[in-house]
Structures are given as structure tokens and as C-alpha cells.
Amino acid sequence: MESKILAKRLKELRALRGMSQEYLADESRVGLRTIQRIENNESEPTGETLKRIAIALDVELSELIGPNSVTETSDLKATIIFLKKQLSKTNEKSEIKTFEKFIEILSKLKEKDLSPKQIEGIESYIKYLELEKIPSFSNDMFKQKLVKFRKYLKNKLRFVPNNYYTTWASCFAISFAIGFAVQSKIDMNIKIGVISTALVIIGIGIIMDLKIKRQERSFSF
């Protein structure tokens, strides 16, 4: 992105509308410091940030940044399109699998009810990965980027695989219960107590997964 052009256009459009930096920050729900850094040519904003600024200024995105300014991975939609192009160029099964998984994850994120802050974080990390700079034949590098992106979703955004706690609790509880149940010398009441405990553990896992879903942190990796 030609950040000098963006900085100039943002200043001009803001001045034409009589907006202060503080007012634009409030209207767009973009941090004041972010607005200042863009205008000082100190930052390259994400696609989500630019969209919010354009809406606040009541202009088309192209008027703010220019028709040729968006990179191929500037936002989720653009990145999906970019990866689909890469997918269409290969017949290798391993490459197809990598691109399809990447596209699947991004598509699910796009459909998810994410907060503006989460979207901005995801798009910033995608830009950091610099997918468009990877040679199209370098499947290993795309795989490495996919692994990094999954780790980012888990560690930074705290996304949890679907039914993670239920699966973990069930495996532990069943193993725990079977270990006692097969012991012939153990009193039947104790066995019943162990089975009841196992069911409670599974129940806790289900409750934790439901909590994760309510927090919009459940995700299929």
C-alpha cells in the first residue's frame, strides 16, 4: 500500500468534512493513536481499519486508498481469493490439502461473529505472514504459515477446538471408570461411586464447552 498517498488522502478528506482526529476516531471506532500514525505515514492499517474509516468519512474505500492500493492479503476476503488462485494453479495433493485447509479456516472466521478488534488482529497477523511473497511452488512455506496461523488463533485469540473439553473429559473419565470397574475385589458401591464421578467429570467438560461457545471462542481447526 502506498502509505504516503493514504496519509495525504486521509488528511484531506478529514479536513473537508471538518473532522478532528479525535472526532474521526470516535466515529470510526478506530484508536486515536492509529489515526495519527496513519496520517504521519507511520503505520500500514489493516483492511478492517480502512473500511471503518471510510464509512465514518462517508466515502468509498477506493476513494480513500485508491483502486490499486490494496494488497492481495489486506483482509479476510482478499486472502481467501488469493489462496483460491493459488489452489487453482496446482495439481499436487499435498498443496491442494494445505490451501483448502487455509481457505476453510479463513471462511469460517469470515462467517463468525467476531468483534472489530478480533478482525483487526487476525488481518494484522495475516499481513505479517506475507503470504503473497511466498513462491507459488513452495508448499512447505505455506504449511509453516498455516501452522503459525493456527497457533495464533489458539494462543492469542484463545479459540478452542469444538467440543475440546467434552472430548478430553470423556477420555479421562472413561479410562478412570474402567480402571476401577474391572477390579473384581472392589465393593460394588465404590464402583458405582466411581462411575458417578466419571459422569460428573464428563458433565463438567460439556458445561465448559457450552461456556466457550457462548463466548464465541469455539472453533473448528
Domain edges within the chain: 3-65, 76-157, 164-219
Report pLDDT for 137.
Answer: 62
The mean pLDDT value of the chain amounts to 85
| CATH homologous superfamily for the domain 3-65 | lambda repressor-like DNA-binding domains (1.10.260.40)
Q: Taking the model in full, what pTM does it have?
A: 0.56
CA dist., res. 99 & res. 80, Å (int):
9
Each residue of 105-139: pLDDT tens digit?
999 998 888 888 888 899 889 988 988 888 766 77
Each residue of 30-82: pLDDT tens digit?
999 999 999 998 888 888 888 899 999 988 877 787 654 445 666 788 899 88
CA dist., res. 33 & res. 206, Å (int):
42
Mean pLDDT of 199-206: 92
Q: Which residues contact 117 (CB under 8 A, 6 or more apart)?
A: none
> Is 139 within 8 Å of 92 (Cβ atoms)?
yes
